[in-house]
Amino acid sequence: MAVSRRPGPGVTTCGGRELRWGRRTYVMGIINATPDSFSGDGLGGDIGSAVAQGKRFEAEGADILDVGGESTRPDAAPVSEEEELRRVIPVIARLVREVGLPVSVDTYRYEVARQALEAGAAMINDIWGLAQEPRLAELAAEHGVPVVLMSNQRGRTCPDIVPQVIASLEESIALAVSRGVPRGNIIVDPGVGFGKTLDQNLEIVRRLRELACLGRPILIGTSRKSMIGLVLNLPPDQRLEGTAATVAISIAGGADIVRVHDVARMVRVCRMSDAVVRGRAA
């Protein structure tokens, strides 16, 4: 029997493509234009390698490419705005020209997002859910692009994690709407790994369905993360099976987009999970 799912939150257009929520799970391929990614796949300033990775992800079935220029692991050294621009803008500009997928920029800085959109990016992925830079909402509204709002608990104590994630996302949604972003262009992310304990990260995946109350599509990123390493006692490059398990469970819990490093394998996991969860082959 197919698992009952929430009423679909409609259709979102991204880079000229329609994302029809509820029909299947979309795959976001991670392109780390950093030298210090936690997952060991940082490409630094190698624009050619980043573009080649984007082309490979397209061939493997990705739906969106997410380009980031600053490592988001808890102990990572921050980079300057100038350095982040140097890392991501040339990559985005070439991906837009050479790859036929929408490109997302993973940033919380206004100027980086502005120049990325000017270079052709079609989505903003903000790990702070507008808390650091509310003007990102105005950029998204001006350019008519979707924005991913993450619940980030870094620097805060959260004894009851799921209600607090929901509350923070409600605040982010309200702020985005107040700055002109249509609700149909808002995607939410519970922020696995961002200020949560191992038990809290596992609880978020287990209770993901509760985010349906927000009425927006859900993006989740568990790929190669420390929660998997802590459970399985494995380094990032050996967390494929753990990632696959969390992706499948997340899809059963209502995830609409999964953000992953290993695109080819996770596309297969998504297709099989969709066939079971949605009651048909996606």
Residue 68: closest CA among 1, 150, 171, 179 = 150
How many other C-beta atoms can be found within 10 angstroms of the C-beta atom of residue 98? 12
Nearest to 219 by CA among 42, 57, 30, 2: 30
Q: Which residues are annotated as catalytic?
A: 225, 259
User: Collapsing DSSP states into helix, strand and coil, what is residue 174?
Assistant: helix
Q: Which alpha helices (DSSP H) does the chain contain, by range?
A: 47-60, 81-98, 110-118, 135-143, 161-178, 198-206, 226-232, 240-252, 263-277
Task: Work out the number of other CB atoms within 10 angstroms of the CB of residue 144.
Answer: 12
